[in-house]
Amino acid sequence: MERHVDKFLNYLKLEKDASVHTVINYSVDLKELAEFLEDKDIHSVDVLDIRKFLVHLRQKEFKKVTIARKMACLRSFFKFLCREGHLKTNPMIGLVGPKLEKKLPIFLNEDDVVKLLEAPDETDLSGLRDKAMLETMYSTGIRVSELVGLNIEDIDFIGGVVRVYGKGKKERLAPIGDKALRIIKNYLQKRNAVTGTSNRALFLNKDKRRLTDRSVRNVVDKYIAVASIRNDISPHSLRHSFATHLLNRGADLRSVQELLGHANLSTTTIYTHLSTEKLKNVYDQTHPRA
Are the C-beta atoms of 256 and 268 separated by less than 8 Å?
yes
165 is catalytic: no
Catalytic residue (choose from 143, 191, 240, 245):
143
Q: How many residues does the chain have?
A: 290
The tally of CA atoms less than 13 A away on the side-chain side of residue 223 is 28
Q: If you ran DSSP here, which 8-state letter would residue 201 be given?
A: B
236 is catalytic: yes
Q: How far apart are CA 65 and CA 45, in angstroms?
A: 24
Catalytic residue (choose from 69, 115, 210, 236):
236
Are the C-beta atoms of 109 and 116 separated by less than 8 Å?
no
Catalytic residue (choose from 131, 191, 239, 245):
239
Amino acid at 67: I
Catalytic residue (choose from 167, 172, 190, 217):
167
167 is catalytic: yes
143 is catalytic: yes
Is 150 in a helix, a strand, or coil? Answer: coil
69 is catalytic: no
Which segments of 173-275 does DSSP mark as H helices, in order? 178-194, 213-227, 235-248, 253-260, 265-268
262 exposure class (CB count in 10 Å sphere: 0-12, 13-18, 19+) = middle
What residues are labeled active site? Answer: 143, 167, 236, 239, 262, 271
